[in-house]
Amino acid sequence: MSGAPTSAALDGQITALLRRVSAEVILPRYQTLAAHEVTSKAVNDMVTIADTEAEVMLAEGLASIMPEATIVGEEAVHADPALAKRLDTGLCWIIDPVDGTNNFAAGKPPFGIILALSDGGETQSGWIYDPLNDRLCIAHKGKGAFVNGDPVRARPTRETQPIAAISTVFLDPAARAAVQARIAPYYTLVDIPRCAAEQYPRLVLGVNDISVFERTLPWDHAAGVLFVNEAGGMAARPDSTPYRTDQHGQKGLFAASSPALFEDFVKRSRED
């Protein structure tokens, strides 16, 4: 990242960009979308005009901040899957223009913008922005995690049973049964927000203890994994190997508000 802005300067530029895109493209369409401005990419996977327009504006802004980095956006990859190969080498911006699109399209929170900067498949920086609450979560590799500029450390809920947010939407019947048999007796299960931009901060801010993800697309998870890990929690593959942005098609990701909770959950999930 020779010649790249310092983290402080970069955060200032990214913050301004996120707020501008939110104010000009995303929030004006919140609860005002027309039927023709919402389409379906797949089952349980929607896209709106706000997604596509925000991605274009974000890509233009990021290209001006760091022109030497390539860009991978969720909607661009949907249109041309070959673009995902840009994640494999060199500096790469990763964009999720509206995370939680199903919520956004329904006119309800949560939703957010997620940006990450990777280098050769390793996430170097991440930004998770909540436009409705103006909450910005930032992490830089080896430099800690921050919420609205203040350092933050992950804190468990300390409930009698840890709180686990687990989606079963993409699980097959056998996997759903395993969750009920192995996990449910030891954890308080809660619904997921269907928004990684909210789910990862909940692990750091004392709302949830565990999150489980089946699909692990980089625009959804690169920034959040870094944020949790830099805050002192633990997010990794179920075998405890690091999450990378160049692991195309690989499924399964656990995240926890502490390494101890992560390891306990791994143990429980493997029990017969």
Whether 128 and 182 map to the same domain: the answer is no
Query: Would residue 21 count as lying in a domain?
Result: yes
With residue 126 as reference, give the H or E element that holds it.
strand 122-130
pLDDT tens for the chain, 272 residues: list them: 444 567 889 999 999 999 999 999 999 999 999 999 999 987 778 999 999 999 999 999 999 999 999 999 999 999 999 999 999 999 999 999 999 999 999 999 999 999 999 999 999 999 999 999 999 999 999 999 999 999 999 999 988 999 999 876 667 788 778 888 888 899 999 999 999 999 999 999 999 999 999 899 999 999 999 999 999 999 999 999 999 999 999 999 999 999 999 999 999 988 65
174 with 82: CB under 8 angstroms? no
Q: Are residues 15 and 145 in the same domain?
A: yes
Give the three-state DSSP class for 24.
Answer: helix
Domain at 30, CATH number: 3.30.540.10
pLDDT value of residue 44: 75
Task: Kindly state whether residue 157 falls inside one of the protein's structural domains.
Answer: no
Same domain, 225 and 145: no
Domain-embedded: residue 16: yes
Q: Is 93 within 8 Å of 115 (Cβ atoms)?
A: yes
Would residue 1 count as lying in a domain?
Answer: no
Query: Is 83:105 a contact under the CB 8 Å cutoff?
Result: no
Alpha helices in the chain (DSSP H): 7-21, 49-65, 74-79, 101-105, 173-178, 196-204, 218-230, 259-270
* 114 and 56 fall within a common domain: yes
Asked if residue 183 and residue 135 are part of one domain, the reply reads no
pLDDT value of residue 32? 98
Q: Are residues 29 and 110 in the same domain?
A: yes
pLDDT at 269: 87
Q: What is the pTM of this model?
A: 0.95
CA–CA dist 151, 62 (Å, integer): 25
Q: Are residues 69 and 39 in the same domain?
A: yes
Number of domains in the chain: 2
In a domain, 2, yes or no: no
Domain boundary among 97, 128, 151: 151
- Backbone φ, ψ for residue 146 (5° rounding): -145, 145
Q: Report helix, strand and coil shares of the chain as percent, to nearest 5.
A: 40, 25, 35
Domain that includes residue 255, residue range:
163-270
